[in-house]
Chains A and B, each alone.
Chain A
Amino acid sequence: MNAMFEPFVDVVPSFFATLSQGPMTLTIFLHTVIILPMFWIYKQEKARLEKEGN
């Protein structure tokens, strides 16, 4: 399991370099934070449509 947490290889350490230490972490993080709020927007709009009764 050690290989799952590589020290970063970038020249200068930074927040994003740390986040992208494994091949998937940065990708999963970014896509998750973009998609999650869409559920909230969805729920709000659904409630609005139901209230408008159509």
Chain B
Amino acid sequence: MASSYSKSESKKLATWYFTVAATLFGAQLLFGLVAAIQYVMPGFLFEILDFSVARMVHINALVVWMVFAMFGSVYWLLPDETGIETVGIGLGKLLFWVFTAAVTVVVLVYLFIQVGPADETSIWFIHEGREYIEAPRWADLGITVVALGFVANLFMTGIKGNRSGIVTVLMADMIAFAGLYLTGMFYTDNISIDQFWWWWVIHLWVEATWEVFVGALAAYGLITMIGAHRKVVEMWLWIEVAMLFGSGILGMGHHYFWIGTPEYWWEIGALFSALEPLPLVAMFIHVLYDWGKMQGEEAAKGQDLSVITNKPAFTWFIMNALGNFLGAGVWGFFHTMPQVNLYTHGTQFTSAHGHLAFFGAYATILIGMMYLAVQGKNNIKILNNTKSSIWAVSMIVGGVVGMTVALTLAGYSDVIISRAQMGATWAGYFDAQATTWLVQGLVWRLLMGVVTFVGFLFLVKDLLSIGKATHHVR
């Protein structure tokens, strides 16, 4: 096979990306724990590593590890889909080192310089103070160069090799993904304009281009792991693209209810974003349906062996189908209507949605891709679960679901007291923070965060050792 690991530099590069991604995932969880402890013990690391710094690292590590794992996933699947080695792999490797070095410098500056004076120099060299895309401007420019190089490799490979439906979708999707980053780089004194364009990056990434990316990964996974028929899978993929972009692009209006933007966004945002769960339901059904169908075809042949060639990866893909639907779909729908969002906007409830959505929609499937890489790297025909695989998926999924439930319950009193009753004043905020539901909710969140972190340790152990286990089919 032309695309086997030993012969593909693209696949080697993919494993580098996955390694850095997993490391940053660990950093995300660690700094999330620091922030979670500070909710419970406000004096913890006060004026040493304040909540604002811990949270900035928490959410930036989140975004960056996912981007690393997404790049890795593309480098992994390209040789399989196009039938050729990725074009420009030398450039790809160079950009990997540039990207990794830049991220390291950015994080060190976050941790050791933290804040600067109120001038443009701080924006250029420390951070931009804009949630999720805090990276200083020099890094913005660097990330743009890296992303463009990555997109160039994808395009050159797609044009030269066999351009499957999956590759076509990825090409269109990734150029939008890279281009959108440019809309979040400029400075303005007008905070309404600032947040308007800020959402072009955040929303059009996570509720449009990243979701389509996940659709493409799921399609690839179904073909490689259970031998689903390409024609069927790619038809689903096009339906998902239509539904995801059809709802997600104008669904951005649900971020424009209260930031100074006109009232017509109530209607546009509500209606289109209310449709956003539909493709997620479709993806969920599609994954389970194809699995049943392929297993049924085997049964008809008198075979009772599982059709799955990578058990842990497939488990994570199923978790993706479920988590995307629940976290992004259901938890998002809860508060996407303006009449609800007026009160839930910017509360612990939002946080509950954020945790389950990012995890369910993206972390799960990217971890699945890491298992596919482990299988390919060790040249294993059927990769079976180990005890660690099962502990990892149980504890991570259980921990994140536990955090989500705890934050949702904390969100009840946050929404009811600080917003509905007290109108979001300083006093109203702290009244809500003192309620039993919120206090207990945040302790439970911390406990569930620890569970998640222990699960992560199992995951790392498993990714490093599962290839050496002897119960696989080689």
Contacts and interface: CB of A to CB of B under 8 A. Distances in A.
21 contacts: A9-B263, A10-B262, A10-B264, A11-B262, A12-B262, A14-B262, A14-B264, A16-B262, A16-B268, A17-B263, A20-B263, A20-B264, A20-B267, A23-B267, A26-B264, A27-B267, A27-B271, A30-B250, A30-B268, A30-B271, A31-B271
| Best-buried of B262, B268, B271 by chain A (most CB within 10 Å) | B262
Nearest to B246: A34
Nearest to A34: B246
Interface in A1-54: 9-12, 14, 16-17, 19-20, 23, 26-27, 30-31, 34
A29 to B, nearest CB: 10
A42 B246 CA distance: 17
B264 to A, nearest CB: 4
Given A10-B264, A17-B264, A27-B267, 19 more contacts: A10-B262, A11-B262, A12-B262, A14-B262, A14-B264, A16-B264, A16-B268, A17-B262, A19-B264, A20-B263, A20-B264, A20-B267, A23-B267, A26-B267, A26-B268, A27-B271, A30-B268, A31-B271, A34-B246
A-B pairs, top 7 by smallest CB distance, nearest first, are A16-B264, A20-B264, A10-B263, A26-B267, A27-B271, A20-B267, A10-B262
Chain B, interface SS category: helix
Nearest to B263: A10
Interface string B268-293: 10010000000000000000000000
B205 to A, nearest CB: 23
A6 to B, nearest CB: 12
A50 B268 CA distance: 38
Contacts of A14: 262, 264
Nearest to A18: B264
Nearest to B265: A16
Contacts of B267: 20, 23, 26-27
B285 to A, nearest CB: 21
A12 B264 CA distance: 11
A12 B250 CA distance: 21
